[in-house]
Structure formats: structure tokens, C-alpha cells
Structure 1
Amino acid sequence: MSPVWTEGTPPADLKISWMGWVRAILRGTALFVVTFGCLAILLLVRLIERPLFGLHRPVTPHITQFVCRAAFVILGMRYKVTGHIMAERGAVVANHASWMDIFTLNARKRIYFVSKAEVAKWPGIGWLARSTGTVFINRNSREAKQQKEMFEARLKAGHKLLFFPEGTSTDGMRVLPFKSTLFAAFFSDELRDFLHVQPVTVVYRAPEGEDARYYGWWGDMEFGPHILKTLAARRQGSVEVIYHPALRVADFENRKELALACESAVRAGLPYSA
């Protein structure tokens, strides 16, 4: 398992007013109904989609996108996209700042997350992740070959896999060095010549007057208080998703060179990167 990033002192806990509680309840209820209502629809559609199309999912990703776009409407949070989504087959890599990245990155692009295996066991979130086609991995060298084969199968099926090469979330103000391990799958003889990797920078901007790290979720910060703070906010900030030009895997000698190029692109898009 990757170590958790723990630098810096997290912002002080937000004191929630009675109006804040009202906002949290209303937004939380709406988000719950939309998320799990659409999940029920997704599971029903998947009963038909899976036997007909196997790994291919021509319908259900649209349901996931709808939920993620609706989440920003419910929160009242501004969402902006810069750059162009690649048309080529391949994967996506991004910086990791918060649990909100799930909504942020799914809202604009049909993707499938690559996540650590323990997420599958998390209450609620694990169920959602499994239902939407998340790829779960163990960072265990004994399973490396099996996981590489799984990546190859999903990529050949046209899935755009998204993973966070930093290996952990941060305060959103920096980009940690990218780990190159998962890039190895792209260099197989069957994939290298046609695959591309698109670096993506996610930029969260805090509500006016709040700590710049407002949306960051890292270290030992608890999920419950963090999502409650987000739901209760009187005034929301914004998020921008920056799509950088896709990189052709065959243009790089090895996984380390490709990882470094992706890291540089993602870091360049973060205006306050440390």
C-alpha cells in the first residue's frame, strides 16, 4: 500500500451553523437519491449490457456521467473544462487531491478508475466503485503479471483507465513524484504501438475567504467531516479540469520516461504547484 501523504496541518474543522446543517441535509439527501437511484438503474441496465457486450459498456457509463455532473449542480459548485479529450485509445493520469476527484473526472470523460484493492471493501463507496467498472489492484509484486494482463484486456476493449500515479491524495496544492510501476502495462508488445496516455490536471479553488486547501483530503482526515463541510458550505468554490495533449507511448523508451513526461505536464497545469 502506498504511504499516506501527511505533510502540513489540515485546515481547522468548520463550525457548522444551523443553516449549514439545513444545506447539508438538503444537498446530502439530493445527492444520495440521485447517486443510488441511478445506481439501481445502472445495475438493471448492466444485466442486459453485460451478456450482450461483455467488457464493453455502451450505455452504463452515460449514467455514471449524469450522476457526476448532477453532483456539481446539487453542490452549487462551478465546473470548468480546459483542453480537449483525446480521441485515441489509451489511459488517463491525473493528480489526486480529494474524494471529489471521482465526480470531477467522471463528469466530463467516460473513464474507469484504477484503485487500491481495499477501496472495494469500503461501505457504500466500494459498492459504487465495483458497479461502475473500477479496476482494483494490490500493490504486490506476486500479482504484477496478473494485473498487467487485466490492464491489457481492459485497454484492448477500448476502456480509458484512469489512475493516480502519486499513489495518494494531497492538499491539492502540489503534485507528488509519479510512480512509474503502472505505466509498465502500456509497453507490452500488443499495446505500445497504438496506446496514448493523456495527462490531466485537476485544480480546486476554495470558496472566497477560505483556506486554499479547502477541498483537499489527505493524511488522517476523516471522510465524514470532510463531506459534511462540503455539503454545508454557504458559498462553494470551483474546479477546473485541464486536459493536456495526449502522449504516444511508442515515443518513449520506457515507463520511467513516460511517467516523468506525464508528471511534468500535470504539474505545469497547477498554478500553485509546490
Structure 2
Amino acid sequence: MTHNPIRAIFRIATTSLALALGTFIILLTGWIPVRVRRIRFAAWNMRWMARAFLRIFDVRLEPPPPETFTEHEGFIFPNHLSYVDIVLLVSIMPMRFLAKESVRTWPFIGWMARAVGTVFVNRGDKASRHQAREQLAHVERYPPIVVFPEGRIGPGGVLLPFRHGAFEIAAQNSTPFLPCAIIYDREALVQWGDETLWAAVWRLAGRSGPVQARLMPLPVVHPTPEANTQQLALQTHEAIARALAYPPGVLPPEVAEGRNYFDHG
């Protein structure tokens, strides 16, 4: 793969201008209480910015059935490989996210995250985790809230174990969740591994040829307070791994023999 520094500089400079303009518009309109299709007016600028990024970086998203996301009320649980995951999801419609506390202070991105209702959590702080769980339990179900159940960006080629917290919240409040597989044809190129965000963006910006991406929504799960959250987490993990063609995890016998939340036959 050839990396072209001139191409990288052009893409990053163009994206920076679009990001600065979009941030200004979001901050300018964030106080307006008007909602468009049940979503705050300012949040729709996020979709415009996400689509601009994808076009500039030549990331081509195979459009999923839009109503799968636009009509969903509740959580979305996708795999997490790259910072591009967030851009893909927001390009479909404005969504809210559960994000680590440090994102709150990031220039541009942190400002926008606060403006669209992101829930922040410090995973190393028990009180912060409890507060985030309380917010997720009582927040409006629409627009959807994206929670990456791996808890961090994965290594690619395999799914990290899913944390149970979001599944517990979904079950306790009978909140539907939409599992989703995010698939790239050039996975190694978009992956954000043991490097800085700048290094990951620079690598993607300078490459030649398009990146094909796909959002594969799986059947919506409607948990109840009686649901086995370990079973929910492990079966969701297995379903997404299967969609990604990753090696499946091994289900404990007591989970494998329980109710299958993905058997709709």
C-alpha cells in the first residue's frame, strides 16, 4: 500500500476546515430548542460532518436499511475497531454515545459530544461508573444511544469480551437493543491500534483507493428484567462475531443451554 503525504495533508486540511465549520454551527445552534424528526436541530449537523469526512477520506458505506436505525428506540451495541466506527454510525442519523471522560476535554470533538448529549464515564472511578449507569437508565430512548460493549477499541480479527453493564441496564429497564456488526474490507487500514489518533488518521488519509464499509444490523433484542444478562452478553457477542466471520467464543454450558435471544425461528 502506497502512502502519499500530499494526499494525506490535503484530506486532513479539508476535514479540519469542515470540522471547524461544523463545530461552530453546532455551538451556535445548540441552544435552539427546536427538534427535527424528534432530534435536536444542532445534532443534525453531526450527520453532515460525518458524511463530509467519509467523502473526503473515500470511505464508502454500503447503506443499511435506514429505518432499522431511524425507527429504533433504545441502545445500539456494535463492535469497536476504529474511530471511523463513530463516523459511520453518525452518518446514518444523529446518535448519542457512551464515551470515556477524557473525550469531554478534546478540542472540537469534546465540544460536539457535549452538545449532542453524550454520556461520559471514567471507568477507573466507581462513582463515575455508577453515575453513567444512572444516566443511561433514565435517559430518553430516542435518538438511540450507542454503547460499545467491548469497552474499548478491539485488536481486529477477534472480539474482546463484552462487558455486562449495558446489558444489565437494558434488561432492568426493558430497553430494546440493536446489535450491529461494523465491517471493513481493509480492516488493518482503519484499525486504531497501539498508536496515537494522529498516527491512525495520517495512515488512513494518505492511502490510495477506497475503503468499503458496511453496517450489518442484527435482530433487535427486547430484554426483560428476568433476563440472564450474562446470557444476553455472550449470545450477542457470538452473533456479532459470526457476522464478522471472527472465531466465536465458547459459551459456558449453563448459558448455551438457556434461552437463545437470536433464535427467531
Normalised to the residue count of structure 1, the TM-score between the two structures is 0.80
Residues 120 and 127 in structure 1, CA contact (< 8 A), matched pair in contact too? yes
Q: How does 1:109-128 map to 2 (within 5 A)?
A: 109-128=93-112
CA-based RMSD: 2.3
Q: How does 1:96-107 map to 2 (within 5 A)?
A: 96-107=80-91
1:241 matches 2:224: no
* C-alpha spacing 1:64/1:252, structure 2 compared with 1 (3 Å): farther
C-alpha displacement of 1:123: 4.0
Q: How does 1:1-274 map to 2 (within 5 A)?
A: 16=3, 20-49=4-33, 57-82=39-64, 85-86=68-69, 87-139=71-123, 140-156=125-141, 158-188=142-172, 191-192=173-174, 195-206=175-186, 212-218=187-193, 220-250=194-224, 253-273=227-247
* More displaced 10-residue stretch of structure 1: 125-134 or 177-186: 125-134
Residues 23 and 231 in structure 1, CA contact (< 8 A), matched pair in contact too? yes
Q: Distance in 1 between matches of 2:200 and 2:127?
A: 36
Q: Distance in 2 between matches of 1:257 and 1:102?
A: 27
Residues 172 and 204 in structure 1, CA contact (< 8 A), matched pair in contact too? no
Unmatched tracts of structure 1, length 5 or more: 1-13, 207-211
**What is the letter of the counterpart of residue 200 of structure 1?**
C
* C-alpha spacing 1:34/1:175, structure 2 compared with 1 (3 Å): same
* C-alpha spacing 1:271/1:82, structure 2 compared with 1 (3 Å): farther
Q: Alignment partner of 2:92: what SS?
A: coil
Higher relative contact order (CA 8 A, sep 6+): 1
Instruction: Give aligned-pair identity as a percent.
Output: 24
Unmatched tracts of structure 2, length 5 or more: 249-265
Q: Which runs of 4+ in 1 moved over 6 A?
A: none
C-alpha displacement of 1:40: 0.9
C-alpha displacement of 1:178: 0.6
The superposition leaves residues 29-53 of structure 1 with CA deviations (integer Å, 9 ceiling, x where unpaired) of: 221111220121111111222xx67
Q: Distance in 2 between matches of 1:109 and 1:93?
A: 15
Instruction: Give the total of aligned pairs.
Output: 243
Q: Distance in 2 between matches of 1:119 and 1:243?
A: 26
Residues 46 and 60 in structure 1, CA contact (< 8 A), matched pair in contact too? yes
Residues 155 and 161 in structure 1, CA contact (< 8 A), matched pair in contact too? no
C-alpha displacement of 1:66: 1.2
**What is the letter of the counterpart of residue 181 of structure 2?**
T
